[in-house]
């Protein structure tokens, strides 16, 4: 199913004056394909990179950067007031500044000022601009107002430069926008919150080519991260053993082993409001790692592998945090006595919530659907029926929000 399938929506795609403007053509097409009504509003600078004819052809709508065109339709007011979503990509440093201070000197900034719908800004600029204190202050102002401002990706920029400031891929931007559209709320309930999510399955190497692992694809953890972004959070995603594209707007830390995940999660969780341990972390690792490939032995002999226990990241997080300052969520994939094992694990780990799911053919590992029971330390339980992993992610955040520490 297309990420934005559903009722026809009115989507405004604003385009800022950056080199990444050419990438937004793909985003417009992704919104148009399922039948949404898409209006592209570029800035004057954006038209130096991609012409109005391109945007008109892709959207099937007239394109202008000026408030003086078609004045009888009052476009500088009408476009924003009638939209279901406004997404701006690339949102340049100049555009962020204008939006933060309420300036309205062209059609796009006027649209942002009159919008009465969710707004998603996708920054892209040189690293120095993104890290400048003025840009940071503008982003903080916008987020405080309920605007979803994604973090830029880290990678190759214009010329030979590289660093944070790259526009995320179009499909990843679309996925976040789909979650924002699905909720349709003006006040994201995770705005201003710092969130850490772990995802995927750790790998414990026996030798340079073999490892002990598990079936986790990371899809549920990535859905939790993406949904948190759409609900306004700043997200750090610690991922192990996945082959998934980075969610647009998340800071992604790639790790391999359970110990690498432990170090990364503990570092990221300092000062975080919520930590969600959705990753499948190996309980054991080989006591010794061979420096070269272990060869097949002659006859029927097989090498013996001695295992040692890995650190319990979830229990360590729960024990070291202040319960009034941080919510800790664990996951448990079970194959039998699901609820009994889940309740025992919740008590043992000391976390606030434990998301328990039975691993089966159509739910859990390596598939797009899941079902769960969210157990709480206060004894309550919430059943989440079989559905998409995005739906499960929303249910998790619905359980987290009432437990958030005060600002």
Q: Which of 138, 214, 370, 383 is catalytic?
A: 214
How far is 98 from 347, CA to CA, in rounded Å? 50
Closest CA to 389 of 227, 176, 197: 227
- Give the chain's count of helices (H) and strands (E): 13, 19
Query: Could you tell me which residues are beta bridge partners of residue 353?
Result: 329, 376
Q: What is the 3-state secondary structure (H, E, C) of 199-238?
A: EEECCEECCCCCEECCCCCCHHHHHHHHHHHHCCCEEEEE
Q: DSSP states of 296-310 as a string?
A: PPSTT------EEEP
Which residues lie below 8 Å from residue 290, measured CB to CB, with a gap of 6+?
A: 206, 207, 208
Any residues with CB less than 8 A from the CB of 306 and at least 6 apart, and which?
A: 286, 287, 288
Reduced to 3 states (helix: H, G, I; strand: E, B; else coil), residue 197 is strand
Catalytic, 310? Answer no
Cα angle at 244 between 238 and 249, to 5 degrees?
60
- Return the active site residues: 214
């Amino acid at each position: 199913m297309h990420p934005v399938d559903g009722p026809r929506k009115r989507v405004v795609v604003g385009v800022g004056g950056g080199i990444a403007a050419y990438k937004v053509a793909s985003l417009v097409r992704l919104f148009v394909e399922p039948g949404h009504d898409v209006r592209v509003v570029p800035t004057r600078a954006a038209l130096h990179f991609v012409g109005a004819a391109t945007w008109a052809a892709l959207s099937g709508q007239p394109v202008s950067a000026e408030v003086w065109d078609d004045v009888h339709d009052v476009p500088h007011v009408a476009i924003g007031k009638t939209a279901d979503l406004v997404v701006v990509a690339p949102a340049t440093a100049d555009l962020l500044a204008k939006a933060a201070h309420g300036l309205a000197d062209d059609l796009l900034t006027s649209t942002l000022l009159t919008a009465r719908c969710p707004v998603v800004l996708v920054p892209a600029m040189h690293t120095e601009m993104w890290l400048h204190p003025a840009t940071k202050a503008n982003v903080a102002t916008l987020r405080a107002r309920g605007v979803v401002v994604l973090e830029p990706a880290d990678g190759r920029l214009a010329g030979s430069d590289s660093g944070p400031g790259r526009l995320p891929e179009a499909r990843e931007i679309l996925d976040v926008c789909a979650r924002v559209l699905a909720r349709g709320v003006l006040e994201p309930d995770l705005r201003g919150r710092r969130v850490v999510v772990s995802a995927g399955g750790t790998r414990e190497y026996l030798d340079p080519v073999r490892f002990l692992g598990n079936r986790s694809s990371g899809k549920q953890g990535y859905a939790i991260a993406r949904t948190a972004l759409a609900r306004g959070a700043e997200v750090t995603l610690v991922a192990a053993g996945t082959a998934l594209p980075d969610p647009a707007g998340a800071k992604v830390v790639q790790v391999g082993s359970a110990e690498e995940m432990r170090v990364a999660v503990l570092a990221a969780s300092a000062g975080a409001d919520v930590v969600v341990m959705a990753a499948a972390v190996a309980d054991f690792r080989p006591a010794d790692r061979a420096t070269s490939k272990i060869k097949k032995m002659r006859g029927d002999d097989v090498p013996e592998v001695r295992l040692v226990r890995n650190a319990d990241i979830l229990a360590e997080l729960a024990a070291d945090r202040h319960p009034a300052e941080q919510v800790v969520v664990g996951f448990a994939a079970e194959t039998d006595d699901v609820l009994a094992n889940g309740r025992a694990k919740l008590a043992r780990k000391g976390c606030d919530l434990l998301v328990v799911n039975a691993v089966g053919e159509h739910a859990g590992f390596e598939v797009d659907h899941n079902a769960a029971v969210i157990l709480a330390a206060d004894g309550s339980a919430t059943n989440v029926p079989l559905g998409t992993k995005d739906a499960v992610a929303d249910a998790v955040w619905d359980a987290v929000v009432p437990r958030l520490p005060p600002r």
